[in-house]
Amino acid sequence: MIRQQHQNTAPKRVALYARSSQQRPLGEIHALLAQVERCIAFCLEHGFSVSYHLHHTEVQVGSATSYRPALARLGEYVRQSCVASLVVSSLDRIP
């Protein structure tokens, strides 16, 4: 459940993460754009603030345990309290 924020408070700052494992250039661009659009729509609907520099995408083929540099960077932003949350289009985007 998502709590509605009071109008007097600043929007919660979040980061976006999108990942594609498709190897076809056009397929990966469309997959990433669709994920980012879903994340942005969610953020707008719930009053979250997204900074462009906190929007990371990566294309990587590998297993669920593969190292994902962009996801690691965003995790560090959350740990350092630079952002309150990480928004993904689907839980299968993160291992």
pTM above 0.75, yes or no: no
Question: For 1, what's the count of Cα atoms within 13 Å in the CB-facing half-sphere?
Answer: 2
**Residues 31, 61, 74, CA angle at the centre, nearest 5°?**
70
**Is the model more confident about 93 or about 62?**
93
Q: Tell me: the pLDDT tens digits for 30-83?
A: 888 888 899 999 999 999 988 766 666 666 666 666 778 888 888 888 889 888
Q: Is 4 helix (H, G, I), strand (E, B) or coil?
A: coil
Domains of the chain and CATH, by start: 13-93 (3.40.50)
Structure tokens at 74: 């965003």
Q: What is the DSSP string of 19-45?
A: EE---SHHHHHHHHHHHHHHHHHHHHH
**Is the model more confident about 26 or about 85?**
85
User: If you ran DSSP here, which 8-state letter would residue 51 be given?
Assistant: E
